[in-house]
Amino acid sequence: MKNPLINFFKRIEPDKKNSPFLHTVYEGFFTLAFTPDHVTSGKGVHIRDGMDLKRTMVMVVIALQLCYIFGTYNIGHQHFLALGEYQNWWQGIHLKIAYGLIQLLPIWVVTHVVGLGIEFYYSYKRGHGIEEGYLVTGALIPLIMPPDIPLWILTLAIVFAVIIGKEAFGGTGMNILNVALLARVFVFFAYPASISGDEVWISGLDKVDGRFIGAEYGWAHQFFDSIFKGVGWDTFGAGKQAVVDGFSGATPLALAYQGGWEKASAAYTASDMWWGLIPGSIGETSKPAIIIGALMLIGMGIASWRIMVSMVLGMSFMGLLLNWWGATPFMEVPWYYHFYMGSFLFAMAFMATDPVTAAGTQRGKWIYGFLIGAIGLIIRVLNPAYPEGWMLAILFMNVIAPLIDYIVLQGNMRRRARRAKVQA
């Protein structure tokens, strides 16, 4: 006998012929809430597993939650740090959380409304169920954007990434490029001022006569003020105060490019960089939060540890080589500090391991990850226009991944053919 709740949902299921769009939406939510009841037989060689694609995607989203929590708080912390208020990490906690939520929620909502809207439309037009891949894409995009990204630019980036990078190839499982990275690369090349420079990583600042001031707080901040006043806590106030003298908003990477590790560590300690108390993309700063998420994915068998380990080896090898060369101050940055700066760990855990766009063979994963680590660091250190590097390295290797698998498979077939010939 079926679950009464399932029976209820079955009774309200829209007719597929008369209401195809409603049926598409219904099926998407139904299969997200319940595991499929039409699985292969328990007999024979098939393996039955409750972890279908939707539940796999949900696990990845769960692994990202620490990055969301820390990123939300760090948005507020960096804002108040620039204004010279609540300098200690634990001061003004309620204001920092509220400010972070006000900045992050619109980004999250726009990402999902626009992206899922496109997914719903294409599923309806093709006459099949809503594909699950956007669950992870929608969770990743807000984390790789600056906290002050204009929402209209974000909308254009998502439309481009989902339509050109995914639906044009046939939908989930057919894309050759990481969709979340496509959204970021669109912003990077179409609107570089919105994702580069120093001030874009600190939200809530205006530039007047060459000097930064705090932007005026809006209705959402006033809403929280009405709550905070009631319990006797500090409030946002009106804003418009000048930032502290000497504020730049530069990331450790930008400083390291200008003057090596000495300049970067003069502004931020190694501990700050490790824990994530630095400006940057929303979810890419806290290394412990990322590592915990990576271990979760490895433990659940969702992400490839081979790609992660080989990326670390590739970046370490290239870092040692550049340290030996030492032609510029950035080349002399100790190779291990490249793990502290920028988004290497986030790219390693959540971007490079995308099972659709990464190499599929076991040996191919080692090659794929190693080359991302090595090429990404070359781009980061040697090209001033792209101080991060991992975005372009992963997209480049997405294109090369099928070739890597082809070479690996051809090599395996040749070796087997030789063994068969010898045995014969």
Q: Per the domain annotation, does 327 fall within a domain?
A: no
Does a structural domain hold residue 159? yes
Q: Tokens in use for 221?
A: 């901040």
Q: Is residue 400 a part of any domain in this protein?
A: no
State the DSSP string of 247-275: -----HHHHHHHHHHHHHHHHS-HHHHHH
In degrees and rounded to multiples of 5, residue 205 shows phi and psi of -125, 140
Low-confidence ranges of the chain (pLDDT < 50): 1
133: which residues sit within 8 A by CB, 6+ positions away? 57, 166, 171, 172, 173, 179, 356
Encoded tokens for 216: 């005026």
Q: What is the pLDDT of residue 128?
A: 66
Q: Tell me how far apart the alpha carbons of residues 143 and 166 are, in angstroms, rounded to a whole number.
A: 20
Each residue of 107-163: pLDDT tens digit? 999 999 999 888 888 877 776 666 667 889 999 999 999 998 999 999 999 999 999
Cα gap 107→143, rounded to integer Å: 9
* Model pLDDT, residue 209: 72
Report the C-alpha gap between 53 and 36 in whole angstroms.
Answer: 11
Residue 190 domain-assigned? Answer: yes
Whole-number pLDDT of residue 1 = 46
Q: Is residue 149 part of a domain?
A: yes
pLDDT at 64 (0 to 100): 96
Q: Which amino acid is at 382?
A: L
The predicted pLDDT at position 278 comes to: 93
Domain that holds residue 192: 12-36+50-249
Length of the chain: 424
Residue-level pLDDT at 345: 96
Angle at alpha carbon of residue 308, lines to 413 and 61, rounded to 5°: 115
Q: Could you tell me which of 253, 152, 154 has the C-alpha nearest to residue 198?
A: 253
Residue 350 inside a domain? The answer is: no
Distance between CA atoms of 115 and 17, rounded to whole angstroms? 25
- For residue 424, what pLDDT is reported? 63
pLDDT, residue 195, reads 76
Task: Provide the 3-class DSSP secondary structure of residue 146.
Answer: coil
Q: What is the pLDDT of residues 47-96, one digit of tens each?
A: 555 556 666 788 899 999 999 999 999 999 999 998 888 999 999 999 99
Give the Cα separation of 24 and 28 in Å (integer): 6
- With contact defined as beta carbons under 8 Å apart, do 376 and 386 qualify? no
Nearest in space to 57 (alpha carbons), one of 275, 281, 317, 354? 354
Non-local CB neighbours of 221 within 8 Å, separated by 6+ positions = 98, 99, 102, 236, 239
Looking at the 3D structure of the chain, how many domains does it have? 1
Q: State the amino acid at position 332 in one-letter form.
A: E
Residue 3 maps to a domain: no
Upper half-sphere CA count for residue 49 (Cβ side, 13 Å)? 11
Using an 8 Å Cβ cutoff, are 400 and 369 in contact? no
- Strand bridging mode 205-208 / 211-214: antiparallel
186 within a domain of the structure (yes/no): yes
Decide: helix, strand or coil at residue 211: strand
Query: What is the structure's pLDDT at 123?
Result: 77
